[in-house]
Amino acid sequence: MIKPDFSQLVPENLGTVHFVGIGGSGMSGIARILLGMGHKVTGSDLRDTAAVATLRELGATIYIGHDEAHLGNPDTVVVTSALWPTNPEYLLAKERGIPVIHRSQALAYLTTKHRLIAVAGAHGKTTSTGMVITGLLGMGVDPSFVNGGVIESEGTSARWGASDLFVIEADESDGSFLHYDTAISLITNVDPDHLDHYGSLEAFEAEFAKFAQGSKDFVVISSDDPGAVRVTKLIKDRKVITFGKAENADVRLTEIDASGPKVRFEISAAGQSFKVELLIPGEHNAINFAGALAVLVGLGFDAAKSVASIARFGGTERRFELHGVERGVSVYDDFAHHPTEVTAALKGARAVVGNGRLITVFQPHLYSRTRLFAKEFAEALAASDETVVLDIYAAREDPEPGVTGALVSDAFLDKNKVHYVAEWDDAPAVAASLARDGDFIITMGCGDVYRMVPQLLGALKTS
């Protein structure tokens, strides 16, 4: 993992821009907008993904694999924290004196002269960002946006708009969310995560307080999440709008019914109450809706029209996304990679599966997160009828001795419900052998577990 060098000034004109790791959700969104602005864009990534293919269609030159020869002669290089310090393109750019900026700096550059809405939180960011964008579009506003996932109704994760509003998903994992000139912040929760970077819960919450304090217009923050409540007490001299189930919430949820494929609830805002049914399941999505509504109401939009606009949201890529059905078994994929997210995702899935069973294929992400939360992951995954645990997706970390996916499976109280499968190629057959007509198989994690979906469908077909 490289540490962002925020001392590097962003050039006034980015010119030709080379992205190292261009296929990532945040990186690809920034590249898409720069292409739309007329910049020449090149890049490299480890895999030839759908995001890479789309950028090529838009005019980007992209190489597979990281190599000095792929750098070319750009004016600016954009990197992500997930890169290794030994990346040859990164090192060559530094050696040649080419400005190397972090993706958050490139995004901050794009948002200049806009009124920025930044969505942060340990989880719920992508869905909440998508809901804010959907709501604004429904109100006739054309915002620019960069989200961490493709918004289903828009078919894209990023777009340059005509209005002065710019909506982004702000990443807190490395502290880069502090570098935006934020007008409105939406904090979904402050659940402990990324402690490998922050070192302590107190430091993690302190950064969120700084992020909120930097919001020029107002802060929208959860009334329910304990960490968010502590952060709220640290905010001084800022307008704060709270949302959630708490009695004192400014935008309050009641009568939540998450028992079916579409969550229903009542919501109160701006002195009015509304009955709402979303197109997606899960109590967590009702909470995300409340946060998005608080943003629109805070911006001065009519509450009733805002409710109707946001309710059009149909989901984002890799959030309980159906990929296919084979011999009566539905195969979904979900991005959940923190115990709280896993609990929410499985609770939502349980409401949809009916009499079927849930079989989760879980890929832990990061050695540090697995070590810190192995017990919590096991408790969350126990909501599945069967769990297949893969080995760890390392991402930006070096291996830790003794830390494998087995830490999660060993923490299960009922060992009959869990199967640790260290070899990737063995996992599809194991999952398929557990499934019967009416069941759901869900690949889960923020690594590359989604790539197993075709193999799972194939294993179901032949088993």
- pLDDT per position as a tens digit, 88-126: 999 999 999 999 999 989 999 999 889 999 999 988 899
> Annotated catalytic residue: which of 42, 54, 89, 169?
169
Note the pTM of the prediction, 2 decimals: 0.81
pLDDT digits (tens, 9 = 90+) for 125-152: 999 999 999 999 999 999 999 998 889 8
Active site includes 125?
A: yes
pLDDT at 436: 94
Q: Which residues of 169-189 are buried (b: 16+ CB within 10 A; e: fewer)?
A: bbbbbbbbbbbbebbbbbbbb
Counting every residue written for the chain, the total comes to: 463
Active site includes 126?
A: yes
Mention the CATH class of domain 321-462.
alpha beta
179-190: average pLDDT:
94
Active site includes 316?
A: no
Least confident of 3-12, 229-238, 267-276: 3-12
The CA distances from residue 13 to 74, 122, 440, in Å, are 12, 33, 50
Q: What are phi and psi of 42, to 5 degrees?
A: -125, 170
Q: Which CATH superfamily is domain 113-310 in?
A: Mur-like, catalytic domain (3.40.1190.10)
Q: What ranges do the domains of the chain cover?
A: 17-101, 113-310, 321-462
Using the predicted structure, report yes or no on whether residue 194 has a pLDDT greater than 70: no
Tell me how many degrees the CA angle 140-145-151 measures, rounded to the nearest 5.
85
pLDDT digits (tens, 9 = 90+) for 374-404: 999 999 999 999 999 999 988 767 789 989 9
Sequence-distant (6+) residues with CB within 8 A of 103 are: 26, 27, 30, 78, 79, 80, 176
> Annotated catalytic residue: which of 42, 125, 134, 397?
125
Confidence of residue 236 (pLDDT cuts 50, 70, 90): very high
Angle between the 283-298 and 339-353 helix axes, to the nearest 10 degrees? 110
- Kind of pairing between the strands at 61-64 and 41-45: parallel
Topology (CATH level 3) of domain 17-101:
Rossmann fold (3.40.50)
> Annotated catalytic residue: which of 126, 129, 134, 370?
126
